[in-house]
């Protein structure tokens, strides 16, 4: 964790917010009221605020009844840490968050310096070593009526630094018929667009399914060590064919335990 800052962890059943607060002298802030607000960033740059009221539990553009919740200061073995947390576990509130949407969390304490701090995050993936792995499903469809090498496309994929994820590809032809990959070696390769011949990540795929057209890629936290905007290719290396190609964005996340220890 940084000297000052907000961390966000998304898991299957909660969103955990964690803030490290210091005053103007650098001392831990352990008292007072720490307020948490969450905003949804709209396409036009406007912000909707999360209304925590039991009758709303959704993002609103105006008229919020209760636009803040109170975070809790945490101790470790009876020692003040200056770390404040809040976990969203209410299923209705969690359902208000949309896959891929950008949000801004704001934490405010009048004794902190600065008094308020913000952090932007994107919902729909996992972040950090505390989070569960996530599964992304991609259906590979041809970009032309006649299928040939390089004329297939896959969905853009989002990942998070130091976070494992599972990517499942379903490979079909232009008619939606399964492409049989039995006996084929399939790999997932990610690379920077400026250096397409240098792979930043290579993961072996596992072919399965009744029609042998399901390819599962298990990306480990070590594979996502570097963040950035990559491109990925799903290769049938046996026949030297590209099965899918698109963008793979790995968002910057907190350091892994090895890096912070």
Q: Are residues 138 and 246 in the same domain?
A: yes
Structure tokens at 48: 């909707």
Average per-residue pLDDT for the chain: 82
Range of the domain at 30: 5-122
Rounded Cα distance, 160 and 188, in Å: 17
Q: Are residues 59 and 162 in the same domain?
A: no
pLDDT in tens, 248-261: 888 876 554 444 44
Q: What is the pLDDT of residue 260?
A: 44
In a domain, 73, yes or no: yes
Q: How many CB atoms lie within 10 A of CB 229?
A: 11
Q: Does 44 or 69 have the greater pLDDT score? A: 69
Q: Is 94 helix (H, G, I), strand (E, B) or coil?
A: helix
Q: Are residues 116 and 153 in the same domain?
A: no
Q: What is the pLDDT of residue 132?
A: 40
Q: What is the pLDDT of residue 156?
A: 76
Query: With 70 as the cut, is the pLDDT of residue 167 above it?
Result: yes
pLDDT above 70 covers a percentage of the chain that reads 82
131 pLDDT tier (thresholds 50, 70, 90) = very low
Residue range 160-168: mean pLDDT, rounded: 84
In a domain, 257, yes or no: no
Instruction: Please name the residues in contact with 7: beta carbons below 8 A apart, sequence gap of 6 or more.
Output: 1, 17, 18, 19, 119, 128, 254
In a domain, 105, yes or no: yes
CATH code at position 163: 2.60.40.3350
Rounded Cα distance, 151 and 192, in Å: 20
């Amino acid at each position: 964790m940084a000297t000052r800052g907000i961390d966000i962890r998304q898991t299957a059943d909660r969103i955990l917010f964690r803030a490290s607060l210091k005053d103007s002298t650098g001392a831990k802030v352990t008292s007072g009221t720490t307020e948490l607000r969450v905003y949804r960033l709209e396409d036009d740059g406007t912000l909707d605020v999360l209304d925590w009221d039991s009758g709303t539990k959704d993002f609103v553009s105006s008229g919020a009844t209760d636009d803040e919740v109170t975070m809790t200061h945490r101790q470790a073995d009876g020692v003040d840490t200056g770390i404040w947390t809040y976990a969203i576990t209410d299923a209705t509130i969690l359902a208000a968050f949309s896959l891929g949407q950008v949000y801004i969390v704001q934490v405010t304490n009048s004794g902190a310096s600065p008094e308020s701090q913000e952090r932007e995050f994107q919902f729909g993936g996992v972040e950090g070593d505390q989070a569960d792995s996530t599964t992304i499903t991609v259906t590979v469809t041809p970009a032309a009526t006649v299928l040939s090498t390089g004329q297939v496309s896959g969905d853009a994929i989002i990942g998070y630094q130091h976070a494992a994820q599972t990517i499942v590809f379903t490979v079909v032809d232009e008619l939606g018929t399964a492409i049989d990959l039995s006996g084929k070696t399939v790999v997932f390769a990610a690379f920077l667009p400026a250096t397409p011949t240098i792979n930043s990540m290579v993961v072996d795929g596992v072919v399965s399914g009744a029609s042998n057209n399901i390819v599962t890629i298990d990306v480990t936290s070590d594979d996502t060590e570097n963040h950035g905007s990559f491109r990925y290719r799903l290769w049938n290396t046996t026949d030297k064919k590209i099965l899918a190609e698109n963008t793979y964005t790995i968002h910057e996340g907190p350091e892994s335990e090895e890096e912070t220890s």
